[in-house]
Amino acid sequence: MQDSLQKFMFEHAGVRGELVEISNTWQQILSRQNYPQAVKTILGELTAASALLSANLKFDGTMIMQIHGDGPLKLLVVECNDKLHIRATAKLAPDAVISDDATLADLIHAHGQGRFVITLDPNDKLPGQQAYQGIVPIDGDSIAVIIENYMMRSEQLDTKLWLAADDTVARGMLLQKLPKHGGIESTVEDEAEAWNRAVVLGSTLKQDELLTTDIETLLHRLFWEETIRVFEPQHPEFHCNCTREKVGDMLRMLGETEINTAVEELGKLDIHCDFCGKHYGFDKVDCAQLFVANTLVEATSIVSQSKH
Ligand SMILES: [Zn+2]
């Protein structure tokens, strides 16, 4: 079974929706590390939310959601691009003890210092162009509410989210009021009413129903009385874009002295990717080469400068 994201639209109502079911991808994310249950829930919900929001990206690129927690959960990262290629990981504080019923605040905002950042990173950035970053205030007790508030404030878009995740699946639903609906006869009141109606219907969805029901059934069960236009489904997939070159760049940024000391001590650096689990080994020769290349470039530029 492929993972699926289903977009739909309420005819004559100016409301759009999406349902997403992430199972294969979610299994691959979970296979890297043994997370406590409460962490699985929040990482899964964030993964579903990231697919729902990325499906409406207006550019080719990646949406990166990052939460830097101040409690037992130090970091959550979910990346999803316009093709719905997803990777995600979480990092716990050393010796973190996390109970199954830990709340979102317990995990990431225990001292009011948690930070949630959404970055939109286009593929075709011009040299020097920065990715767009938005700070998402942690002002709700669930990922859904926090993102709903953020969408309202940053995009002025009425958005409702339902998210759920367990050991096998992450599912989510999004409803969004379209900013300008073209219908000549529809008034502001009509549109507000249509939006309210969609939200009332959506709100009959219960958490365990979302966890246990496939999205095709959910779509029918929730909105069977509405005239709904359904689009071709899209298919989220796990994909990690780590490479040996990127790891090399990261090591280079740490500095030659730092790396030499480390490789001297350990004999070999074994860097592993938190997203996909791939290992990259750098022995003394590899490490030396990281910096030789730099020296060569510098030497070349000195030579070319001295020619003038
Ligand atoms: Zn990787």
* C-alpha 137 to ligand 1 mean position (Å): 29
Contact 171, 206 (CB under 8 A): no
* C-alpha 243 to ligand 1 mean position (Å): 7
Which of 292, 294, 279 shows the shortest CA–CA distance to 247?
279
Q: Is 307 strand, coil or helix?
A: helix
- Residue 230: partners with Cβ closer than 8 Å, 6 or more residues away: 6, 7, 8, 219
- Give 20-35 pLDDT, tens digit per residue: 999 999 999 999 999 9
* C-alpha 275 to ligand 1 mean position (Å): 5
- Give the model's pLDDT for residue 230: 96
* C-alpha 247 to ligand 1 mean position (Å): 10
- Give the model's pLDDT for residue 11: 87
Which of 184, 194, 180 shows the shortest CA–CA distance to 10?
194
Q: How far is it, in rounded angstroms, from Cα 306 to Cα 308?
A: 5
- Give the model's pLDDT for residue 303: 57
- Residue 124: partners with Cβ closer than 8 Å, 6 or more residues away: 60, 61
Q: What are phi and psi of 89, to 5 degrees?
A: -155, 160
- Give the model's pLDDT for residue 92: 96
* C-alpha 31 to ligand 1 mean position (Å): 13
* C-alpha 244 to ligand 1 mean position (Å): 10
* C-alpha 48 to ligand 1 mean position (Å): 20
- Give the model's pLDDT for residue 300: 59
* C-alpha 218 to ligand 1 mean position (Å): 34
Q: How far is it, in rounded angstroms, from Cα 149 to Cα 146?
A: 5
Residues in the chain with pLDDT < 70? 180-185, 293-308
Q: What are phi and psi of 260, to 5 degrees?
A: -60, -45
Residue with tokens 């207006």: 58
* C-alpha 22 to ligand 1 mean position (Å): 19
Residues within 5 Å of ion ligand 1 by Cβ? 240, 242, 273, 275-276, 278
Q: How far is it, in rounded angstroms, from Cα 214 to Cα 171?
A: 9
* C-alpha 41 to ligand 1 mean position (Å): 22
What are the strands of the beta sheet with 85-92, ordered from one edge?
A: 132-136, 115-122, 61-68, 73-81, 85-92, 237-238
- Give 121-175 pLDDT, tens digit per residue: 999 888 888 889 999 999 999 999 999 999 999 989 999 999 999 999 999 999 9
Neighbours of 85 (CB within 10 A): 17
- Give the model's pLDDT for residue 184: 57
Q: How far is it, in rounded angstroms, from Cα 107 to Cα 104?
A: 5
